[in-house]
Chains A and B, each alone.
Chain A
Amino acid sequence: EVQLVESGGGLVQPGGSLRLSCAASGFTFNTYAMSWVRQAPGKGLEWVSTFSGSGGNTYYADSVKGRFTISRDRSKNTLYLQMNSLRGEDTALYYCTKGDEGFDSWGQGTLVTVSS
């Protein structure tokens, strides 16, 4: 059974940094693309970033490009999202997802709140 468990969310001041983690199990982590998707309170889903399954290609939404960095540790089956220069509009529940042609598994999410 696929399991994706996010952690690392919390309250951070504007301009601050946070690193999210997603521990993956139940599938061959190295062969699948992994992504982060976020949902602001009361809003819809927004794609944030994707790390390709093979190779090291990374992709970012324009709203986070230059501020967020996605990475993965294949030895730990873990996906990360380093978030710098955080803004109020980054406040959201951040989900870890598997796959790149349809996100076919979702974690439960970790909440990031950017506020002074």
Chain B
Amino acid sequence: QPVLTQSSSASASLGSSVKLTCTLNNRHSTYIIAWHQQQPGKAPRYLMKVEGSGRYNKGSGIPDRFSGSSSGADRYLTISNLQSEDEADYYCETWDINSWVFGGGTRLTVL
């Protein structure tokens, strides 16, 4: 089954941009992934799907500040003009024929 690898933490300043990475294992390097945001004490929220081509498709109501991209086995989530409410855990997710997998999550701190 697929394996997703994420850095455990990231930080960036208020108003700046940050790019979070989710890496697929080699065998599943072409897979589509989804990004989810989990603010402290809240349920996760779906952000977008990102394809290997770099095309991305956001969920309803997700601000324009959030975008996706790809390079090889890496799938990215870029957040521009960081706001305090962007401080959260970010998880990537992918799926196979009969299983679903999450990355370990990246905790984003807004300085």
Q: Which residues of A contact B (CB under 8 A)?
A: 35, 37, 44-47, 50, 59, 61, 95, 100-109
Give chain A residues whose Cβ lies under 8 Å from the Cβ of B46. 102-106
How many whole Å from B45's CB to the nearest CB in chain A?
Answer: 7
Residue in B89, B91, B99 whose CB lies within 8 Å of A61: B99
- The total of interchain contacts (Cβ-Cβ below 8 angstroms) comes to 57
B74 at the A/B interface (Cβ < 8 Å)? Answer: no
Query: Do A59 and B99 have beta carbons less than 8 Å apart?
Result: yes
How many whole Å from A82's CB to the nearest CB in chain B?
Answer: 20
Question: Which of B93-111 touch A at CB < 8 Å?
Answer: 93, 95, 98-105
Give chain B residues whose Cβ lies under 8 Å from the Cβ of A104. 34, 46, 59
Query: Do A103 and B104 have beta carbons less than 8 Å apart?
Result: no
Given A45-B36, A46-B102: 9 more A-B contacts, CB < 8 Å: A44-B91, A44-B102, A45-B105, A50-B100, A59-B99, A101-B95, A102-B46, A103-B44, A104-B46
How many whole Å from A107's CB to the nearest CB in chain B?
Answer: 7
Give chain A residues whose Cβ lies under 8 Å from the Cβ of B75. none
